[in-house]
């Protein structure tokens, strides 16, 4: 029993509440949000060391015995995701100091970010399915604030759709939990896993599994359910889009991973077969979208969809290589999407447009931006030794071991399409004849570059330092592949 | 009793889907309200409607109501209340900016601005 694992959830919440009191003092806001994220980051690192040395950490709130109270569980996967979340948020916040207008900063922009981080970290950490719904709502309500903040015409129009889709998927989430509760009579995730093992996954549980896939699929943007994503994500300003793109869909992906490795493991031919097919379709749909547009934002947004497909394809293999590949790729994708969104945010800020046809020749004026973008783009496509490579390689190895030859081939081809779609941005924006640029201050360009460059460097280090990260990844995938470790850790007390 | 509840929940969902698919913003909000009511009733029904006495911890008591669904519903009601309030304000602002409450006039992307 140790409260350490609550700190990465509570600290952002605490700082968010304090920030609510001084909305107009931008200096105080910026200082406190930075301090809050650094403190949360340190607590997440301590937690990671603790999980590495002592195994899974659990807290059951209110000192109730395990299946009755709300349990918070921190295994290696969730602590890795929590740490990555805080890192990305930190850089987005630093970027926001110049990347977002002061009006938004004065209207609770930073508190909303901190509340969203509370929800994201909570959803990663919770060990109770209803509590996961609550944390989903926390992060969703904060994200409603962020997407509509500013009140531009386009933002309002797209927010309606975003809010409506999420309200409906939340209602579906409640319905699914109710159905699951009627079958197993518990909402504690470890206990649910035990009860499902006891009754041996009859048909009704498989139906519930598919319902969960629907619910989290809407949040995570898998194939038939990603329709809302491109329109809504393009509406808010760049730093918000970065946060959404790097973090929010990953919460859905995490939830699918958790439920499909902990609960629904007795009829994998049906459930994981379906997941595998949907993942492949998601990759294909994302590829089509990524090639179809000449808009920077849209191209990158469809790359989010592709990444979701790749990760879930790895999860669906249910073997060692596939699972650790999926975890590798999940964290890689959070880092590299954060970096890429920040970089194209700078391109948009410099050129004043997001239309590829209206840019050109940036290499002559902004060479540093060009090289950073190229490194990040190669990382996304998975060129060794950059970070995307090892994850994809492990996923494909896992898929071949599981006999999904066609899926792996489609995934390999998709890597080429990803490369093509991001290199197209490079060719159009950085090569060719220079286009007259609107006047921007060189100083603001530099302060925008700083967080993006550091994030790219972190992702490079993540790729080059694979060797040191392997023990952490195997720890994470071991828990996913052997649910009994998770169950024992929660119910032992 | 569960049978009656199932029919009521079905009617609520039916009305909710009809309202959400309509074009007026106000009807859509009413629809999401009905949807969450249906979901809450479903939790209550799924917990089992049997049990007539309160769930007080004592030895030998067998006939008691399941307290957990009620706790879950309470949480879900508070959340849907907050979200509905937010939606009302959001939709009102949108109505003010776009001068329309018709969803079919609000489609489109950047090229339409």
**pLDDT above 70: percentage of residues in chain B:** 92
Count of domains observed in chain B: 1
The beta strand positions in chain B, using DSSP E, are none
A24 SS3 class: coil
Nearest to A151 among B35, B93, B103 (CB): B93
- Please give the pLDDT value at position B110: 52
- Split at pLDDT 50, 70, 90, the class of B109 is low
Residue A126 β-bridge partners: A72
> Per-residue pLDDT for A443 more than 80?
no
CATH at B85: 1.10.287.3510
A445-454: b (≥16 Cβ within 10 Å) or e: beebbebbbb
**Chain A CB contacts of B108 below 8 Å:** 157
> Per-residue pLDDT for A268 more than 90?
no
A152 SS3 class: coil
> Under a CB-based contact definition with an 8 Å cutoff, are residues A319 and A335 in contact?
no
Measured CA to CA, the distance from residue A345 to residue A352 in angstroms comes to 10
Kindly state whether residue B14 falls inside one of the protein's structural domains.
Answer: yes
Average pLDDT over chain A reads 91
**pLDDT digit string, tens, across residues A360-375:** 888 888 889 999 999 9
> Per-residue pLDDT for A277 more than 70?
yes
**Chain A CB contacts of B28 below 8 Å:** 164
Cite the DSSP H helix spans in A402-434. Answer: 405-430
Give the closest-approach CA distance of A217 to chain B in angstroms: 19
Kindly state whether residue B111 falls inside one of the protein's structural domains.
Answer: no
Measured CA to CA, the distance from residue A286 to residue A422 in angstroms comes to 13
Q: Cβ neighbours of residue B51 under 8 Å, at least 6 residues apart?
A: B63, B64, B65, B66
> Per-residue pLDDT for B108 more than 70?
no
Q: Which of A55-69, A211-225, A471-485 shows the lowest mean pLDDT across its residues? A: A55-69
ipTM computed for the complex: 0.93
Q: Do A234 and B97 touch (CB under 8 A)?
A: no
**Chain B CB contacts of A156 below 8 Å:** 90, 93-94, 97-98
Kindly state whether residue B113 falls inside one of the protein's structural domains.
Answer: no
- Smallest CA-to-CA distance from A239 within A146, A150, A134 is with A146
Q: Give residue B26's domain range.
A: 2-49+65-103
Q: Do B46 and A187 touch (CB under 8 A)?
A: no
> Under a CB-based contact definition with an 8 Å cutoff, are residues A392 and A332 in contact?
no
B21 SS3 class: coil
- Smallest CA-to-CA distance from A261 within A190, A204, A325 is with A190
The two tokens of residue B47 are 């917990």
Measured CA to CA, the distance from residue A350 to residue A357 in angstroms comes to 15
> Under a CB-based contact definition with an 8 Å cutoff, are residues A192 and A259 in contact?
no
**pLDDT digit string, tens, across residues A368-414:** 999 999 999 999 998 888 888 999 999 999 999 998 899 999 999 99
Among all residues of chain B, which has the CA nearest to that of A187?
B68
Query: At CB < 8 A and 24+ separation, what contacts does B87-93 make?
Result: B87/A163, B87/A167, B87/B29, B87/B32, B88/B29, B90/A144, B90/A148, B90/A156, B90/A159, B90/A160, B90/A163, B91/A160, B91/B25, B91/B26, B91/B28, B91/B29, B93/A151, B93/A156
Kindly state whether residue B81 falls inside one of the protein's structural domains.
Answer: yes
**pLDDT above 90: percentage of residues in chain A:** 70
**pLDDT digit string, tens, across residues A312-354:** 999 999 899 999 999 999 999 999 999 999 999 999 998 888 8
Question: B12, B36, B42: which to substitute to probe chain A, counting the most A Cβ within 10 Å?
Answer: B42
> Per-residue pLDDT for B113 more than 50?
no
Chain A neighbours among B 67-86 (CB < 8 Å)? 68-69, 72, 75-76, 79, 82-83, 86
Kindly state whether residue B108 falls inside one of the protein's structural domains.
Answer: no
User: CA torsion sign, A337 to A301 to A109 to A124?
Assistant: negative
Mean pLDDT to the nearest integer, A86-92: 96
DSSP 8-state secondary structure symbol assigned to residue B47: T
More confident residue, B99 or A10: A10
A197, exposed or middle or buried, with CB in 10 Å at 0-12, 13-18, 19+? middle
> Under a CB-based contact definition with an 8 Å cutoff, are residues A376 and A343 in contact?
yes
Question: B106, B108, B112: which to substitute to probe chain A, counting the most A Cβ within 10 Å?
Answer: B106
**Chain A CB contacts of B91 below 8 Å:** 160
B15 CB within 8 Å of a chain A CB: no
> Under a CB-based contact definition with an 8 Å cutoff, are residues A152 and A53 in contact?
no
Q: Do A175 and B39 touch (CB under 8 A)?
A: yes
Question: On the CB side of A203, how many CA atoms lie within 13 Å of its CA?
Answer: 0
The two tokens of residue A191 are 């206990």
**What is the β-pairing status of strands A71-74 and A57-60?**
antiparallel
Measured CA to CA, the distance from residue A207 to residue A205 in angstroms comes to 5
Kindly state whether residue B55 falls inside one of the protein's structural domains.
Answer: no
- Smallest CA-to-CA distance from A95 within A454, A448, A335, A453 is with A448
Number of C-beta neighbours around residue A49 at 10 A = 11
Measured CA to CA, the distance from residue A249 to residue A166 in angstroms comes to 12
B32 CB within 8 Å of a chain A CB: yes
Kindly state whether residue B99 falls inside one of the protein's structural domains.
Answer: yes
Kindly state whether residue B16 falls inside one of the protein's structural domains.
Answer: yes
**pLDDT digit string, tens, across residues B39-74:** 999 999 988 787 777 777 777 777 778 888 889 999
Mean pLDDT to the nearest integer, A466-483: 90
Q: Cβ neighbours of residue A453 under 8 Å, at least 6 residues apart?
A: A368, A372
A355 SS3 class: strand
**Chain B CB contacts of A157 below 8 Å:** 94, 98, 106, 108
**pLDDT digit string, tens, across residues B13-23:** 999 999 999 99
Measured CA to CA, the distance from residue A327 to residue A164 in angstroms comes to 31
**pLDDT digit string, tens, across residues A98-144:** 988 888 989 999 999 999 999 999 999 999 999 999 999 999 999 99
């Amino acid at each position: 029993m140790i409260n350490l694992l609550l700190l990465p959830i509570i600290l952002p919440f605490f700082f968010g509440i304090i920030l609510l009191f001084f909305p107009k003092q931008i200096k105080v806001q910026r200082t406190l949000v930075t301090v809050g994220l650094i403190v949360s980051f340190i607590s997440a690192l301590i937690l990671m060391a603790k999980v590495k040395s002592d195994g899974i950490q659990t807290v059951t709130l209110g000192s109730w015995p395990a299946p009755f109270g709300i349990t918070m569980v921190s295994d290696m996967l969730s602590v890795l995701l929590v740490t990555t979340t805080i890192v990305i948020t930190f850089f987005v916040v630093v970027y926001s100091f110049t990347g977002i207008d002061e009006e938004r900063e004065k209207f609770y922009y930073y508190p909303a970010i901190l509340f969203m981080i509370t929800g994201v970290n909570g959803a990663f950490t919770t060990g109770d399915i209803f509590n996961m719904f609550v944390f989903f709502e926390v992060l969703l309500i904060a994200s409603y604030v962020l997407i509509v903040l500013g009140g531009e015409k386009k933002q309002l129009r797209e927010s309606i759709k975003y809010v409506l889709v999420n309200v409906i998927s939340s209602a579906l989430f409640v319905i699914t939990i109710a159905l699951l509760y009627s079958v197993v009579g518990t909402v504690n995730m470890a206990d649910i896993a035990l009860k499902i093992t006891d009754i041996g996954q009859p048909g009704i549980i498989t139906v519930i599994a598919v319902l969960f896939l629907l619910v989290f699929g809407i949040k995570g943007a898998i194939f038939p359910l990603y329709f809302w994503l491109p329109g809504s994500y393009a509406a808010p300003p760049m730093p918000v889009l970065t946060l959404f793109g790097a973090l929010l869909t990953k919460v859905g992906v995490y939830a699918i991973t958790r439920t499909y490795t902990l609960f629904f493991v007795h009829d994998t031919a049906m459930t994981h077969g379906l997941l595998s097919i949907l993942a492949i379709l998601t990759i294909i749909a994302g590829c089509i979208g990524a090639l179809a547009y000449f808009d920077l934002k849209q191209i990158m947004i469809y790359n989010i969809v592709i990444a979701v497909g790749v990760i879930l394809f790895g999860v669906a293999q249910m073997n060692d290589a596939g699972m650790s590949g999926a975890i590798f790729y999940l964290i890689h994708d959070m880092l590299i999407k954060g970096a890429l969104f920040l970089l194209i945010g700078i391109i948009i800020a410099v050129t004043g447009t997001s239309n590829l046809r209206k840019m050109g020749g940036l290499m002559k004026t902004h060479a540093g931006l060009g090289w950073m973008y190229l490194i990040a783009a190669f990382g996304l496509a998975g060129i060794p030794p950059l970070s995307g490579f090892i994850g994809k390689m492990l996923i494909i190895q896992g898929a071949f071991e599981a006999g999904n030859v066609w899926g792996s081939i489609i995934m390999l081809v998709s890597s080429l399409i990803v490369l093509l779609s991001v290199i197209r941005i490079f060719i159009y924006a950085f090569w060719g004849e220079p286009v007259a640029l609107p006047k921007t201050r060189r100083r603001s360009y530099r302060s925008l570059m700083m967080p993006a460059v550091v994030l790219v460097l972190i992702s490079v280090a993540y790729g080059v330092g694979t060797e040191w990260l392997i023990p952490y990844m195997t720890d994470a995938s071991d828990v996913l592949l052997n649910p009994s470790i998770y169950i024992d850790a929660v119910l032992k007390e | 009793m569960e049978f009656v509840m199932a029919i009521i929940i079905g009617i609520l969902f039916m009305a909710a889907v009809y309202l959400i698919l309509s074009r007026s913003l106000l009807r859509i909000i009413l629809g999401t309200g009905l949807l969450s009511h249906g979901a809450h009733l479903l939790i209550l029904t799924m917990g089992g409607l049997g049990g007539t006495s309160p769930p007080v911890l004592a030895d030998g008591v067998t006939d008691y109501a399941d307290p957990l669904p009620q706790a879950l519903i309470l949480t879900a009601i508070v959340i849907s209340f907050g979200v509905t309030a937010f939606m009302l304000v959001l939709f009102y602002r949108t109505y003010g900016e776009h001068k329309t409450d018709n969803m079919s006039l609000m489609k489109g992307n950047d090229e339409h601005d």
